[in-house]
Every structure is written in C-alpha cells, then in structure tokens.
Amino acid sequence: MKLPTDPIENLATLIRCPSVTPAEGGALTALQAMLAPMGFASDRPVFSEDGTPDVENLYARLSGNGPHLMFAGHTDVVPVGDEAEWTHPPFSAAIANGQMYGRGTVDMKGGIACFVAAVARHIEKNGKLKGSVSLVITGDEEGPSINGTDKLLKWAVDRGETWDAAIVGEPSNPDAIGDMIKIGRRGSISGTITIHGVQGHSAYPHLADNPLRSLVSLLDALLVPPLDAGTRDFQPSNLEPTTIDVGNPTVNVTPSKATASFNIRFNDTWTAESLQAEIHNRLDRAARRTKYRKGRKEPVSFDVVWRDRPSHVFLTRDDRLVNTLTKSVESVVGRRPALSTSGGTSDARFIKDYCPVVEFGLVGKTMHMVDERVDIADLETLTQIYERFLVDWFG
C-alpha cells in the first residue's frame, strides 16, 4: 500500500480541488483518502448557524500510546480574483522554474501536504508513532470562522478528546523556511461609529449639522495618543480606520449620517473588554467637546457597534513545545528561528484554550496574491522539519 510520502504529489492533489470558502471542493475528500492508508480514522462533521453558510470539516485521528499531538489547518482558500491575470490556471498545480503555482499553495494546503508526508515517512521508517496524532482541518478559516475550528474543537472535546500540544501549519516564515515560529498573536477587535447630524445645504452650514466634522474629531481621538508602546513580547497595538461612508452622491448637500469602521490589533496591555472601555472613554471625551448646530452648543451624538467576536491576545509559554520545534528547525536548516507574535490572526486563537499551540509553515510572501506559489525545495524542507519534530516530540 503506497503511503503519501511525497509532499509535491500531496499538494498537487489538494490544489486541484477548488475549495474556495465555504466550498469543500473535494479537498477534504482527497485529504481523507491520503490519511486512510496510514490508519487514520476520519469524521466529517458539518456545522451550521443562522446567517452563515454550512461548513464541512475533517477530524482525523491516528491513535497510539503516548502524547497526543494536534496538527491544525484549513483547506479552504480565498477567491482567485481575475483568473486571466494568473500565469498558470489557479487550480492546475502547474510547476515551472522550480515552483508550484496555485491558490492555496502556501496558505495553507502546502503545510497540510508536508505534514501528511512527514507522518507517512515516519510510519514507513518506524512502523508507528509513539503517541497519537490528530488533524483538525476546517473549510472556514478564510471565511467567518464560525462553523469551523471553534466548533470542531468543541465537537471533539464532547467526544472525550484532549491534546498535549498543537502546530498550526499557517505560512509563518517571512523570507525562508526556518525564519520564524509564531508563539502567539495579538488580539483583534472591530467596531463601527455612527455620527448623527442634520442634512442641509453646504452653503448654509449654520442651518444643518454636518456629521463629517464630528467624525473627524472622534477618529482623531482614537488615533492620538497611541494606544500603547508595545510590550516585551508584542509590538504596539494599532487602530486602523478601514472605511468611512456617508452614502452621499451630491457635493452641495451635507449628509445626515456618517459612519466609520475600524479594526484594532492589540497586545497584552489590553483585554478585549478593557480596550472597548478605552475606546468608549476616548469617544465620550471627544463628544463632550461642544459643537455649534443652529446657533446652539450641543454634544456630538454617536453610536458604537462592536462587530463580530473579538480575537483574544495569547502567548504560548510551553517550553517543551517551543524548544522541541526550535531544535527540529535548527537541525534541518542550520539556524535558529525567531520566536514571534507578529502578523494577523489564525485559528490558533481557538486552539489556545485547549492546549499549547505554535504556528510553523511555509513562506507567506505570495499568500492571497495572484500567482500564489511555493518553491518545490521548500516543500521538502518543511516536510523534513515536521518529520524531525515527530521524532523529537514523541521520542
């Protein structure tokens, strides 16, 4: 029985599955077929919630005596954009000049392909693992992340599952394999401010109340002073306005309402709750600075709506997991990876509540881009690192 020891072949199979969120696209079926010859038992739970698409997920477990390692990731990918701009069709897995092209090559079907190959090689050489391995694979990481990893973990726990450590195979390396292990992430929270005014003629501002004037003041209060200067483990928190909208097609009419949305990436200076309180305090102070409307002094009228669920900041302090992976990387590439908390969010934000978790995968330079691609040599290097980690972790 042939085992899936070749990461290039594994990845090509996955890339040829057009699994744009939330479509399964055949990717989970292909992955389940790869895992079956190694003895993995697989489940394919589908989760639902009002207002969101149903999402199919995969939980595959290879049971043994010893520690339980989770490998987590996603087979869903972002849309390809204008397919005509691609050098090679985005789901063809074409290889040219030592690179494989395709949507999801680095984010993150490549990481999955390499881990599967690493487990297969370990089994081929050693017969079995000295412990258990589970793959927690969702089709909802690039989407709303509601019917994916969060629910899949709860589903597994309800069936008695526990884990000792987890690796998320997201593309963690900025330039070369071995550059960086992600040991934490800043939190993320988003909101929308709505300023209420009075529509009027732009030539007679005293008869109206232009909400854009107030919106500028409130946004300035959110941006200055900075939220913090960073901490030992995290870069500074940053608030970024992401959209301003008044829905006004006319240049000589001031609008009756203006909205601004923003996203904050925050470090361990804050919790989501304390940060929300700080934002409300800043807005309240700015709103109390009076304004003139129709000859009277009145405070700014505004609302804040917090959007989606916040992602909480976390830092993995588990020495065994971090040190073992660090040594495995160093033994393969000959240099010590940096330990970082940079970047956006990932499904590690859910996994942290169940076991220590780190992120290590391919180079992320082309993720989400036209002509997303991976160096063939990097697939082999990452597979060797994962294989060495399995030996070091279970050994």
Residue with tokens 């996994």: 351
Asked if residue 249 has a cis previous peptide bond (ω within 30° of 0), the answer is no
Record the tokens describing residue 346, joined without a space: 């990932």
- The answer to whether 68 is a known ligand-binding residue is no
Of the candidates 393, 387, 353, the one whose C-alpha atom is nearest the C-alpha of residue 153 is 353
Instruction: Clarify whether 76 is annotated catalytic.
Output: yes
- The answer to whether 74 is a known ligand-binding residue is yes
Burial grade of 171 (CB within 10 A; 0-12, 13-18, 19 or more): buried
**Coil, strand or helix at 180:** strand
Taking the C-alpha atoms of residue 242 and residue 239, their distance in angstroms, rounded to an integer, is 9
CB 169 within 8 A of CB 72: yes
Catalytic, out of 6, 56, 76, 375: 76
CB 131 within 8 A of CB 66: yes
- What distance separates the 2 farthest-apart alpha carbons in the chain? 85
Hey, which residues does 52 pair with through a beta bridge? 49
Instruction: Clarify whether 387 is annotated catalytic.
Output: no
- The answer to whether 347 is a known ligand-binding residue is no
- The answer to whether 107 is a known ligand-binding residue is yes
Taking the C-alpha atoms of residue 387 and residue 325, their distance in angstroms, rounded to an integer, is 11
Record the tokens describing residue 285, joined without a space: 């102070």
Write out the DSSP string of 247-281: ----TTEE-SEEEEEEEEEE-TT--HHHHHHHHHH
Catalytic, out of 24, 56, 140, 141: 141
Taking the C-alpha atoms of residue 356 and residue 76, their distance in angstroms, rounded to an integer, is 24
Q: How far apart are the first and last CA of the chain?
A: 26
- The answer to whether 142 is a known ligand-binding residue is yes
Query: CA–CA distance from 354 to each of 184, 350, 351 (Å)?
Result: 14, 8, 5
Binding region for Zn(2+): 74, 107, 142, 170, 368
Q: Which residues are the active-site residues?
A: 76, 141
Binding region: 74, 107, 142, 170, 368
